[in-house]
Amino acid sequence: MARQTNTLSQSEARIIRRLKTPRRIQDFINGLEMNFNRDRDTCQSPRHVLKSGKAHCVEGAILAAAILRHHGHRPLLLDLEATDNDYDHVVALFRQHGCWGAISKTNHAVLRYREPVYRSVRELALSYFHEYFLHCGRKTLRRFSRPLDLRVFDARNWMTSDEEVWFIPERLTEIRHYPIMNRRQIATLRRADPVEIEAGRLTEFPDPPARARRGSHH
């Protein structure tokens, strides 16, 4: 069995200590190389993300939640659930000045950091709606989860585990989700404009062809 420990190494603690604000955490998460899971799907713990220097959206959100916790925030994740032909997206939530914001790891120009200006989690989730679309322009965001507090996994050493932490995204799919709209609203949705679609193709890191064809923003 892989070694389990709750203790941060000196180098890990040094990195986390200097990331004192959500803005600094987002800058650090942006600087991580995008993990495209070229060999296999992964769900690295924060410790392993720091070691590898790579993360996809869930891994980046889990690391952000761990760093936020170190600086006095609750380690909260929010799942944004899309239609079956698109990917879900996961962000780390934080509260500042009485409002909600989010830290996000994404390869695209959309679905990114949210300033803490939202009075509710629903307001914040809705802010992602219009930029959540496929390359054909079809808007795909449908539901959002209640916040998941990662402290429920403390006994499983989710921050420092040497094993992957698949139990976190698994729980995210199981917890309560809230619909964003009803069927009548879905039936009358307008597709994104061509200029929006073109802007949505902008990426930070080269996108492998198989993923690019899928048309996801994550």
- Asked if residue 135 lies in contact with residue 196, where contact means CB atoms within 8 angstroms, the answer is no
Tell me if 73 sits within 8 A of 92, measured CB to CB: no
- Confirm whether 162 is domain-assigned: yes
- How far is it, in rounded angstroms, from Cα 132 to Cα 138? 9
In a domain, residue 217? The reply is no
Question: What is the rounded distance in angstroms from the CA atom of residue 212 to the CA atom of residue 135?
Answer: 9
Q: Please give the residue range of the domain that contains residue 23.
A: 10-204
The answer to whether residue 1 sits within a structural domain is no
Mean pLDDT computed over 117-143 = 97
**99 domain-assigned:** yes
27 to 60, 105, 135, 180, 205: CA distances (angstroms)? 12, 10, 27, 29, 15
pLDDT class for 2, splitting at 50, 70, 90?
Answer: very low
Q: In this model, does residue 211 exceed pLDDT 70?
A: no
Residue 89 counted as domain residue: yes
- Is the residue at 211 inside a domain? no
**Residue 4: which pLDDT band, with cuts at 50, 70 and 90?**
very low
Structure tokens at 85: 């032909």
Tell me what percent of the residues of the chain surpass a pLDDT of 70: 93
- The answer to the question of residue 127 being in a domain is yes
Say if 32 falls within a structural domain. Answer: yes
pLDDT per position as a tens digit, 8-22: 788 898 999 999 999
Number of domains in the chain: 1
171-192: average pLDDT: 98
